[in-house]
Structure 1
Amino acid sequence: MTPCTETRILDGMEGFEEISREHWDDGASVRSIVSYDRCRDYFDETMKGFQLRIAVGASDVRLAHRSVKMGSSQVDFVQLQCDRDFHVDQPDEFDYYYLKLILSGRCELRMGEDVTAVSEGEAIAVNPFGSLKVLWKGLCEQVMIRLDRNALEQTLAEELDIEISDPIRFAPVAVGSDESRPVSALVDLLRRDADGACVFGTWRLGRQFERLVHLAALQCFPNNYSELLRRATSMVAPYYVRKAEEYLREHLREDVTIEDIARVTGVSTRSLFYGFRRWRDTTPMAYLKKLRLDVAREALRSAARTGASVTDVATSVGFFHLSRFSSEYKARFGEPPSATLRRG
């Protein structure tokens, strides 16, 4: 297969306007193939078990394909033109979910007893279990987002802070471009990055970008965890976060460690960091520092009545290095503690 040097782009796309056609035309990573036999072989080699089948007598078959990695997942831009109807078969069981964004054309997905038509400007999520046949009417231009099954389940488990006992099952329904816009916007961002700096091709940033796509997919495509995800956004902080906050308020002056908090709350340090980041947008130790400084400010404002000094207030909230207390205090409130003390 040779890199594409001249690929005709189809006109008339509706929906997913943010996914630029330029991803077909970088002149380096797009594969352009003509003839049914070569297209079929290419599918067998590169599309992880998908099999291309075209009606007898097809004479005009053209395939353009570009693949972009994203952590443990992958995005495929596919354009296939054919003068006959064709279908793509998928194996019964595989290790990834995938999202189909239809840029041009119309297809019909047969998943077990479910039959779903997906048209231009629509998208659908496909589960990694059960046989699937996708029938196309002579034209296919789509984005396929392969999401590693284990990675998607891990993201969901972390987001809900639960063990995933039942596999994620997306509903066999098509959604419009407005509903799936968070996904398509991320796809376009990934494509633009692949054409330029390619920062999402690095391991760390690729993993984080992949997580964003996971969350967008779980939000945009109806699934058996949709209601739980919706409720989670309005839930109060879980017990262990509130227990940690109570413990920190009661031990302001002590030399508290993250291990101390984990022991009291009965959860792992990882869960503590995740819980505070999700529900308090901070870390446990940063929360403790903020709490100490807030209490210190109130104590300095009443120092004229109590007779306390800056040193007294600092040590009362666990700061035993006065210079550090002064710098932390000024960074948070924009003035040194002595100024608050004088003003009262």
Structure 2
Amino acid sequence: MSLREALNSKAIFQHECPHLVSDYVNEHIGNHSITLQGQKTGRASLWHRALDPAISLSKITYGSRVRVRSPELQDIYHLQVVLNGQCRWQLADSERMLGPGELMMLNPQENVDLTYSEECEKIIIKIPRTIITNTAISHGASIPRDGVKFARHVLHINQFKALSQLLELLCLEAESEVVDVNMHTPYQILLANKLLSMFNSNVDIHGSYDMNVRCFEIIDSYIQDNIKKDVSVEELASVSRVSKRTLYNLFAKYRSITPMSYIKQKKLSEVRRLLQTKEGAIRNVTEVAMDYGFIHLGRFSGDYKKTFGELPSETLRKTIVA
């Protein structure tokens, strides 16, 4: 599924008056004003969902040439991605012209002056200042008095496949009828880490690399020593001497998965190693699965096949007949 397809369902407005859409944007996305510069009206559309109480996602098109101005974004960042058409980003001393696939970060307390072409269609992700700040702090970065400021650079989403996949996931999660509040913090941290690593900014999140490498050495050793136990995120945070939030940040940045998914991968790899061992060969998949804490056998088999491309019973059968 493409990012565009993930945003196609359940539009709030479709082919409506641009000012009607603008009123909604002012209330839910960010304070701004629009000036219509084209002849066509009545073609504005908007998709908007809140992923959680902090982050929201929108897809917007005004269907006409429009100038969008905002005195400043109040304590929020905007990640904006152009899907179609063009968007001119007017700065104090220069301008940037964005085309399909290009993206930019808008900072809090900065004037915004954008001009949409008639065909312009954009995705806007609203992220509170606190999420970006806390994520940078968790990396040991010193935060300037005026906060984290992203450079006014234009990037292309094709350079960052993981970001595109993450945004698709966030859109699908926002549309889901089943809300998993336990995933809110990991999603926030993944997104903040991705943005801090992609865009240049006035903070350095790379200075603590050696410390983070040592942290993972401790984590890997602890997981291996307790591979048959139910290791918790709290335990990993404790042995590595970091907070839970910092732990999630480390995994998001250096492993691109959550701590619990990482633990599960380690357990699955150990089960596979045993199933492939001829000496003292395992003859019962259920026994070894449960020995490593996999109580739901159907879910275990599905996770195993997703990871290794075959069912555990197939791995065992190959070992026996080899």
Shorter-chain TM-score: what band? 0.5 to 0.7
> Can you give the 5+ residue segments of structure 2 that lack an aligned partner in the other structure?
219-233, 264-290, 293-322
Give identity over the alignment, percent: 15
Deviations 1:262-285 (A, max 9, x none): 9xxxx9873898499769999xxx
1:172 aligns to what SS in structure 2?
Answer: coil
1:97 CA displacement:
0.7
Paired residue for 1:168, among 148, 153, 171?
A: 148
| Residue 79 of structure 1 pairs with residue 58 of structure 2 | no
2:81 aligns to what SS in structure 1?
Answer: strand
Deviations 1:96-133 (A, max 9, x none): 11111110011111233342211111111111122110
Contact 1:70 1:209 in 2 (8 A): no
Change (3 A) 1:127 1:232: same
Change (3 A) 1:146 1:276: closer
Change (3 A) 1:232 1:60: same
1:68 aligns to what SS in structure 2?
Answer: strand
- 2:2 counterpart letter in structure 1: E
Deviations 1:212-262 (A, max 9, x none): 11111112222223xx334444x245999999xxxxxxxxxxxxxx9xxx9
Q: Give TM-score, length-normalised by structure 1.
A: 0.59
Q: How far apart are the structure 2 equivalents of 1:144 and 1:86?
A: 16
Aligned length: 244
Q: Which runs of 4+ in 1 moved over 6 A?
A: 238-243, 275-282
Mapping for residues 111-190 of structure 1, pairs under 5 Å: 111-158=91-138, 160-166=139-145, 167-190=147-170
Q: How far apart are the structure 2 equivalents of 1:271 and 1:117?
A: 41
Q: How far apart are the structure 1 equivalents of 2:250 and 2:80?
A: 32
Question: 2:77 maps to which residue?
Answer: 97
Question: 2:183 maps to which residue?
Answer: 205
Q: Give TM-score, length-normalised by structure 2.
A: 0.62
Contact 2:80 2:103 in 1 (8 A): yes
Q: How far apart are the structure 2 equivalents of 1:270 and 1:98?
A: 27
Q: How far apart are the structure 1 equivalents of 2:50 and 2:32?
A: 18
Mapping for residues 223-262 of structure 1, pairs under 5 Å: 223-225=201-203, 228-233=204-209, 235-237=210-212
1:88 CA displacement:
0.7
1:45 aligns to what SS in structure 2?
Answer: helix
Q: How far apart are the structure 2 equivalents of 1:268 and 1:60?
A: 58
1:182 CA displacement:
2.5
Contact 1:123 1:180 in 2 (8 A): no
Contact 2:189 2:248 in 1 (8 A): no
1:41 CA displacement:
3.2
1:29 CA displacement:
4.7
1:198 CA displacement:
4.6
Contact 2:60 2:121 in 1 (8 A): yes
Q: How far apart are the structure 1 equivalents of 2:212 and 2:118?
A: 52
Change (3 A) 1:269 1:192: closer
- 2:72 counterpart letter in structure 1: D
- 2:188 counterpart letter in structure 1: E
Deviations 1:60-118 (A, max 9, x none): 33121111223311111112211xx2111122241111111110011111233342211
> Can you give the 5+ residue segments of structure 1 that lack an aligned partner in the other structure?
1-16, 244-257, 287-329, 332-344
1:162 CA displacement:
4.3
Contact 1:114 1:172 in 2 (8 A): no
1:179 CA displacement:
2.4
Contact 2:89 2:96 in 1 (8 A): yes
Paired residue for 1:65, among 43, 46, 69?
A: 46
